[in-house]
Amino acid sequence: MARELSSLARLAVAAGGMAVIAGLAAPPAVAGPVAQARSLAGATWIITPGGNVTGSAGKTTLKDKSTSTSLSCSSSDIAATLKSGSGQTSPIGQITSVTLSNCTGPDGLVFTATTSASPSNPWPLNTSTYSSGVTHGTITNIQASISGAGCSATVAGTTSTTSGQVTVTYTNSTAILKVSGGTLHIWNVSGCFGLINNGDAATFTAAYTVAPAEAITKKPDVAFTIPVKVGGTTTEQITNFPGTGPFTWGNFTWDTPPGPPGAATVKPGFPVNGDLQIVPPNGGWPNMPGTYKLVGSYTDSANPKATRTVEITIKIQK
């Protein structure tokens, strides 16, 4: 096959359009099927089914990072509204209610915990990255208060008047929203026996099971489709990724199904910083026709805060 006789298939992608260049080694050959490459204008999210959801958690914990004092609640429930369908942007939803039940501190001190989340003052659910069924993001606009015998305080952000945020992950396979980290601090402390102090950083940890279960995925910033032949040994080289470079490359992994391409070698940033190579397994692509996805990311030094996601679809054909 002409495609297999070529030593290198070179693909060039420009932002907002597509270009494909086939680089052929001697002996000359007629070009075979070309791989289509496309650069997307911007990543968007797909939420299914979306709409009104609830979340239930067992033990939740607010911990003062300075004193290591923990305030735990035996259960917590949330209500939220999510966007629905494809083409959605962050924030993908709003948390409209958070309740915390049976809260206690050291020595069995009983506390009441209330939050500011409401339909008129929702907490945005922001999404940032997605990989292998897991979405990473934050919940913002957080404010809360605690009160008990001889102790009361508020929870906010880095100042007493700014709202805080927490880090979250949502896993499609388990429908669990995990909460951790963030910028929470304790303020307006009254009493409390030195267990918590004004200005102390705090963490809140919880794991909410979401119902109905949601499937949240992200369309990539840059996407390629590369058809290959069973037994083909051509090294696929992708070049001219959107951006000015140099790039910092993240890990590239085979998404589901992992399939036979798992034995292929992926070389981001090779042979030069702006290129990526996919080397077939020894003996060529296996006799298992199908579609397999390789996912990864890179960051452009010109905009180090913006990570571009990449999805490469390998179509093995007979």
Same structural domain for residues 235 and 113? no
Q: Which domain holds residue 161?
A: 45-217
Comparing CA positions, the residue from 52, 140, 40 lying closest to residue 90 is: 140
| pTM above threshold 0.85 | no
d(CA 241, CA 125): 30
Same structural domain for residues 249 and 123? no
Same structural domain for residues 106 and 211? yes
Same structural domain for residues 122 and 178? yes
What confidence tens digit (pLDDT) does each residue in 259-317 have?
Answer: 667 678 888 888 888 888 888 888 889 888 988 888 888 888 888 777 888 888 889 99
**Residue 158, φ and ψ in degrees, nearest 5:** -75, -15
Specify whether the CB–CB gap between 191 and 180 falls below 8 A. no
The DSSP line for 155-168 is EESSSTTS-EEEEE
Same structural domain for residues 188 and 111? yes
Domain boundary at 171, 191, 217, which? 217
Q: What total of structural domains would you count in the chain? A: 2
Same structural domain for residues 54 and 189? yes
Share of the chain above pLDDT 70, in %: 84
Same structural domain for residues 269 and 159? no
What confidence tens digit (pLDDT) does each residue in 104-157 have?
Answer: 998 889 999 999 999 999 999 999 888 779 999 999 999 999 999 999 999 999
Q: What is the CA radius of gyration of the chain?
A: 25
Same structural domain for residues 68 and 186? yes
pLDDT of residue 161: 96
pLDDT of residue 201: 98
Same structural domain for residues 207 and 293? no
Specify whether the CB–CB gap between 142 and 116 falls below 8 A. yes
Run of H or E including 213: none
Specify whether the CB–CB gap between 82 and 92 falls below 8 A. yes
Comparing CA positions, the residue from 55, 4, 13, 2 lying closest to residue 212 is: 55
- Tracing tokens 């052929």 back to the chain, one arrives at 24
**Residue 189, φ and ψ in degrees, nearest 5:** -70, 130
Domain boundary at 188, 217, 246, which? 217
- The domain that holds 252 is classified in CATH as 2.60.40.10
Domain boundary at 184, 217, 250, which? 217
Same structural domain for residues 103 and 174? yes
Same structural domain for residues 205 and 72? yes
